[in-house]
Amino acid sequence: MAISVETFFLDPNAQGTLQSKIQQMIAQGILSGRFSKGEKLPSSRRLARHLGVSRITVTLAYTELLANDYLEARDRSGYYVSENAPEPPQFAPQPPGQDMVDWSRAIGRRFTGGATPEKPQNWSSYRYPFIYGQVDASLFDHANWRLCALQALGQKDFQALTTDYYDQDDPKLIEFIARHTLPRRGILAQPDEILITMGAQNALWLTAQVLLTQRRMAVAEDPCYPALRDILTQTRCHLTAVSVDGDGLPPEALPDHADVIFTTPSHQCPTNATMPLTRRKALLKKARDMDALIVEDDYEFEISFLGAPSPALKSLDTDGRVIYVGSFSKSIFPGLRLGYLVGSKQFIREARALRASVLRHPPGHIQRTASYFLSLGHYDSLIRRMGQVFARRRAVMEEALAASGLSVAGRGVFGGSSIWMRAPEGVDMQLAAAKLRDRGVLIEPGAAFFHRDDPPRNFYRLAYSSISSDRIAAGVELIANTLKECE
Amino acid sequence: MAISVETFFLDPNAQGTLQSKIQQMIAQGILSGRFSKGEKLPSSRRLARHLGVSRITVTLAYTELLANDYLEARDRSGYYVSENAPEPPQFAPQPPGQDMVDWSRAIGRRFTGGATPEKPQNWSSYRYPFIYGQVDASLFDHANWRLCALQALGQKDFQALTTDYYDQDDPKLIEFIARHTLPRRGILAQPDEILITMGAQNALWLTAQVLLTQRRMAVAEDPCYPALRDILTQTRCHLTAVSVDGDGLPPEALPDHADVIFTTPSHQCPTNATMPLTRRKALLKKARDMDALIVEDDYEFEISFLGAPSPALKSLDTDGRVIYVGSFSKSIFPGLRLGYLVGSKQFIREARALRASVLRHPPGHIQRTASYFLSLGHYDSLIRRMGQVFARRRAVMEEALAASGLSVAGRGVFGGSSIWMRAPEGVDMQLAAAKLRDRGVLIEPGAAFFHRDDPPRNFYRLAYSSISSDRIAAGVELIANTLKECE
């Protein structure tokens, strides 16, 4: 590869002659590892013109570098970085200068240090990945996704691919969600009541920004999705955590006043509880009485291989009080980053304006690819196939858990992709998880899901969405053995 | 297409017998336009099982709907929405219930009503689109983009496509930016000093959130990119607008104290001024003296067909004081939504945590596709081709402008994609733009770029990035004639 002439700039602060500045610039590029052995340098004529210096100056610099073995000349074809050039250091080169900024002062708001746990990027190299929320390569319909992406890359969809939509979305995707996805959850919505988001995470974040201020009161479930807690904490609103029971969020335990209630009625995260119809009605009534809004995160409703999912809470909402969050991340793949918000026009309008300010719109190509994948029926087949496999895995898992003596704390009645587990009191699952990791087993410790400063440490989540059936029993046995050591 | 059984839910609040509820549910689906003529209904057995009612109830409901011509039966194959079914209304159906929420109270923060002007989605149907920031289909390297996307869709890149990166980015894209893109701007950066963003918009937004609070003072250029002003206004920081001159932002006009200075030194937006080296050094010195940070939006540096671009301000920064914003939106296409932030580790860490909370990460597939497009050299060819064409268009434009007697207020010395124009005092370019639109000419009125409550109304921007050379002269003539009418 040739080194582009545009890579070269003379450092206006450098000392010395023009020639020595040029030598320095090239040697530094080699030493820092930016220019690799065998790469071709620009001709002296081009470099001279680019830098605005005389050609002889560049030629002299090249000759000097040749003598020092930084460069080598090849007949008629010019100068190359020498095979004998000094090796760049193994450590990364330091940029010139020192950081003179007092960042502890300069940073006005901090966003690090949240509750969201770090997860291993290399999870697929573990033998027993009971990891949640990743895609199983053996189940994903790669061929058809590829075909849909190809179609969306075609000349006909050129506009959809390349255009700046400003604050708008792909009308095809919106139409599919309105006509096919939402009706399955019992929801009727107009296009201007739907906003495409960068996954459910982004939908929850936008909602929190629009609805919450330092004077507002939010209610979250305890335990709940840790990233939601981070989002709520960052808004600096008042936050009340309400403990869930086997039927999800109990309306009678809500505080007397709240502005926004965040809930996962169909499939509580992480306990998997499903809220019964009577409780849903009571929750809606309570919200109406205190004039609160409800944000319903309807994650994983598609993964319902054990029975039809109950309709969304939003389908019972005649007041426009429920804001609905859906996602394609669990069911297609998380790297897709596509979800949606459904709510009253007034709310969606503000969320849309905020989204435009933050990022304009999710990339058009991704939206169009998803809309093909959905409308051609590949999505439904994928969900069916996932359901069949998850059902088998879940059966194997239930059997293995029963045999192992491990305690289940919550299982989804419709399906889902994980089981919420309880270790004996006194076992710290953070420590157990570290031990298990060394043994090739990935599990998710549960403490991060709780709001309390001193959360119970003996809960954990086991997902079956990315582990094959034939490894489940051995993995569960390893967990059981490790927990015994930790007691 | 068959109507999925999962679309059906009995309304728990509905009155009447089970059979009438089922009839209502189906009729409503047809009337609202959700079920189309010729679509097949689930078998009575499937629907009965799904709803948990007896099969005879469903059969009776179907028979009744048959009699009313909502449905038709086809021999042995089941029930279909009748070709004679009532037409759904032309207007969109209203969801049941009334919005009972007082949204003026419920919305805690408003994001609508910003300065960012609305732009026509159908710009490409105008004959003279002097529109800024859209892609010219005749220039874009669609074939190679498609090949790169295909490669990124391959089995080998499956992980890159589907994985939840949490807060991380595609290492290949980061490496390319660090090794090839930034050195061309004279910048050396480590991977942990670079963050991929959803376009420059997202980079500016993240930066403003991390650095600004209600107690901080930001400086913006006047005029400036309207979306930046919206971002700064939303942070509620103190904001000082400093008028630019023919050399960009004058350091001596800065206030005595500021925390963050937002600037476009290489190519002022929208006046196209380039800041000379002496002024850059003075700006850095002034920032150091008041211990302020500088955010450099280096947009369009690639579009430099008239001469080499000056190195980035960041390349002169030895203090770590400059935060650099780059983007691929202008040079690849805006629908891509890919940009990047370069800055000190401490800053990038906070911006990364915020990005993770807001949206996790830009989709992996898009990052990987871009990294192929860049590393295979297609990007450089595209830029060269754009440069050649833009140079021709610009020459035609200059000639047409000279002939028309229109006044140029600012042109980029290196190139760029637009010319900043001044109409005679007293001409309101908002009104002129509306007239021109009716005549097939799209221009951008300039008032939105200014900070003042009573901005000058006689500026406008003419871009040559999406209009073909042979239409420029006629378009410019139309503008000149229309301005005469407006005087």
Here the ipTM equals 0.86
Looking at residue A93, its pLDDT comes to: 47
Average pLDDT, chain B: 90
Return the DSSP state at B54.
Answer: -
A216 contacts chain B (CB < 8 A)? yes
Looking at residue B236, its pLDDT comes to: 94
Give the residue from chain B lying closest to A97, CA to CA.
B318
CATH 3.90.1150.200 fits A5-81, yes or no: no
- B127-135+384-486 matches B142-379 in fold: no
Q: What is the CATH architecture assignment of A123-133+381-486?
A: Alpha-Beta Complex (3.90)
CATH class held by domain A142-376:
alpha beta
Do residues B13 and A316 touch, judged by C-beta distance below 8 A? yes
- Mean pLDDT for B27-47 is 85
**Per-residue confidence band for B418, with pLDDT thresholds at 50, 70 and 90:** very high
Q: Which residue's structure tokens are 């139309």? A: B478
- Residues from chain B contacting residue A354 (CB–CB below 8 Å): 111
Integer CA distances (angstroms), B270 to A102, B223, B267, B400, B472, in order:
32, 7, 8, 21, 20
Integer CA distances (angstroms), B185 to A265, B178, B325, B327, in order:
52, 11, 12, 13
- Longest CA pairwise span in chain A (Å): 88
Q: Identity (one letter) of the amino acid at A246?
A: G
- Mean pLDDT for B205-209 is 97
The alpha-carbon gap from A241 to the nearest alpha carbon of chain B, in Å, equals 20
Do residues B354 and B205 touch, judged by C-beta distance below 8 A? no
Q: Identity (one letter) of the amino acid at A243?
A: S
Local structure of B296: helix, strand or coil: strand
Residue-wise pLDDT for B341-393, tens only, equals: 999 999 999 999 999 999 999 999 999 999 999 888 888 888 888 999 999 99
Q: What does the block give as tokens for A470?
A: 């034939």
Do B121 and A321 lie within an 8 Å CB cutoff?
A: no
Q: Which fold has domain B127-135+384-486?
A: Aspartate Aminotransferase, domain 1 (3.90.1150)
Looking at residue B69, its pLDDT comes to: 81
Looking at residue A92, its pLDDT comes to: 47
Looking at residue A434, its pLDDT comes to: 95
Residues in chain A where the model's pLDDT stays below 70: 1, 13-15, 88-97
Do residues A48 and A55 touch, judged by C-beta distance below 8 A? yes
Distance CA A430, CA B395 (A): 67
Give the residue from chain A lying closest to B200, CA to CA.
A359
Q: Identity (one letter) of the amino acid at A399?
A: E
Closest-CA residue to A466 (of A117, A116, A115, A122): A122
Closest-CA residue to A224 (of A466, A420, A88): A420
Across the strands, what pairs with A296?
Answer: A263, A324
Looking at residue B90, its pLDDT comes to: 53
Q: What does the block give as tokens for B177?
A: 């930016």
Q: Which residue's structure tokens are 């849909």? A: A148
Looking at residue B340, its pLDDT comes to: 97
All structural domains of chain A with their residue ranges: 5-81, 123-133+381-486, 142-376
Q: Which among B158, B164, B209 is the nearest to A142, CB-wise? A: B158
Looking at residue A23, its pLDDT comes to: 83
CATH class held by domain B142-379:
alpha beta
- Which 325-384 residues of chain A touch chain B by CB within 8 A? 329, 333-337, 344, 346-347, 349-351, 353-354, 356-366, 380
> Cβ atoms within 10 A of the Cβ of A292, count?
22
Do residues B209 and B347 touch, judged by C-beta distance below 8 A? no
SS (H, E, C) chain A: CECCHHHCCCCCCCCCCHHHHHHHHHHHHHHCCCCCCCCECCCHHHHHHHHCCCHHHHHHHHHHHHHCCCEEEECCCEEEECCCCCCCCCCCCCCCCCCCCCHHHHCCCCCCCCCCCCCCCCHHHCCEECCCCCCCCCCCCHHHHHHHHHHHCCHHHHHHHHCCCCCCCCHHHHHHHHHHHHHHHCCCCCHHHEEEECHHHHHHHHHHHHHCCCCCEEEEEECCCHHHHHHHHHHCCEEEEEECECCECCHHHCCCCCCEEEECCCCCCCCCCCCCHHHHHHHHHHHHHCCCEEEEECCCCCCCCCCCCCCCHHHHCCCCCEEEEEECCCCCCHHHCCEEEECCHHHHHHHHHHHHHHHCCCCHHHHHHHHHHHHCCHHHHHHHHHHHHHHHHHHHHHHHHHHHCCEEEEECCCCCCEEEEECCCCCCHHHHHHHHHHCCEECEECHHHCCCCCCCCCEEEEECCCCCHHHHHHHHHHHHHHHHHHC
Do residues B156 and B469 touch, judged by C-beta distance below 8 A? no
Distance CA B12, CA B33 (A): 22
Residue-wise pLDDT for A297-311, tens only, equals: 998 888 888 877 778
- Mean pLDDT for B12-32 is 79
Do A227 and B357 lie within an 8 Å CB cutoff?
A: yes
Q: Which among B106, B135, B354 is the nearest to A211, CB-wise? A: B106
- Residues from chain A contacting residue B133 (CB–CB below 8 Å): 164
More confident residue, B160 or A369: A369
B42 contacts chain A (CB < 8 A)? no
